[in-house]
Structures are given as structure tokens and as C-alpha cells.
């Protein structure tokens, strides 16, 4: 296994419900290290650009509205096998299907408002990290 970096977004439902600390604690407990972090309020253009791959999906408008409703916390996580490990810590997209102890099982409301985003491949992680962070943020 290699040391990887992945992008995490703590989504608006979680910042609205003051679950940021609880989520960061689960991330750190899993062995992933937070190497960069920022709280920000996404514009529609930023949310739409970030989720461009879902542009044709029926829920795209809803997703952009949700992601711009309140601030998010974006961070870069580093560790052994970080991309797959964070997907495990997050749990399934639909919290009803998420395993016990996962972020989505503990905090998410439904398949749309599911508290966190995590990159789904190393290639996407690189693209997503560069979307939010400059090289100088990541030394």
C-alpha cells in the first residue's frame, strides 16, 4: 500500500447541524491525517464545476442547490491507501445502506444530504484536490 491523498468535503447538512467536529474525529481516529483544510461557501459555479460528471443526472440541480445552501469544510486527507480508506470511513452513499460506525450512518439524513464527499479514485483525488488547494497549501 502506498501513502495517498484524497479530498474530503463536509457537506452543508453537517455544517448546519454542527457535526464538523464529530466527523473530523472519526477521520483522525481512522488513521488519516488532515494536511490542509478550509471552510468556504461554494458558489453555484463552483459546485456545478466540481460535480460536472453528474451534469446529466436527474438530481444534478438538487445537488448544486444543496451544496451551496450553507458552508462546507474542504480538506485533504493523507495516509496509507487514503482514497479507499476514506470511502470506508464515509460509508455507502445512501445512509440506510451504510455500515455501523461510518460517518454517513451516524450523521447523514438521506442519499442526497449525506454529510460527506470523498474522492472515488486516485486520479479523481488529484483533480479534486487541485480544484480547491494550491501547491503551496500542501507542502
Active site residues: 117
Is residue 22 close enough to count as binding ligand GDP by CB under 6 A? no
Question: Environment class of residue 4 by beta-carbon count within 10 Å: exposed (0-12), middle (13-18) or buried (19+)?
Answer: buried
Per the structure block, which three cell numbers stand in for 3?
501513502
CB of 52 to ligand GDP, least distance (A): 12
Is residue 6 close enough to count as binding ligand GDP by CB under 6 A? no
CB of 98 to ligand GDP, least distance (A): 10
Closer residue to ligand GDP, CB minimum distance, 55 or 137: 55
Report yes or no: 131 and 50 within 8 Å, Cβ to Cβ.
yes
Binding region for ligand GDP (CB under 6 A)? 59, 62-63, 93, 111-112, 114, 117, 120
Amino acid at each position: 500500500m502506498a501513502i495517498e491523498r484524497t479530498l474530503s468535503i463536509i457537506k452543508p447538512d453537517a455544517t448546519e447541524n454542527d457535526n464538523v467536529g464529530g466527523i473530523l474525529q472519526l477521520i483522525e481516529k481512522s488513521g488519516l491525517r488532515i494536511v490542509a483544510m478550509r471552510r468556504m461557501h461554494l458558489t453555484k459555479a463552483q459546485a456545478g464545476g466540481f460535480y460536472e460528471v453528474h451534469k446529466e443526472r436527474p438530481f444534478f440541480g438538487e445537488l448544486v442547490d444543496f451544496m451551496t445552501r450553507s458552508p462546507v469544510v474542504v480538506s485533504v486527507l493523507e495516509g496509507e491507501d487514503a482514497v479507499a480508506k476514506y470511502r470506508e470511513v464515509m460509508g455507502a452513499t445512501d445512509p440506510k445502506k451504510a455500515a455501523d460506525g461510518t460517518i454517513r450512518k451516524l450523521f447523514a439524513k438521506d442519499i442526497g444530504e449525506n454529510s460527506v464527499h470523498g474522492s472515488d479514485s486516485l486520479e479523481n483525488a488529484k483533480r479534486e484536490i487541485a480544484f480547491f488547494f494550491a501547491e503551496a497549501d500542501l507542502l
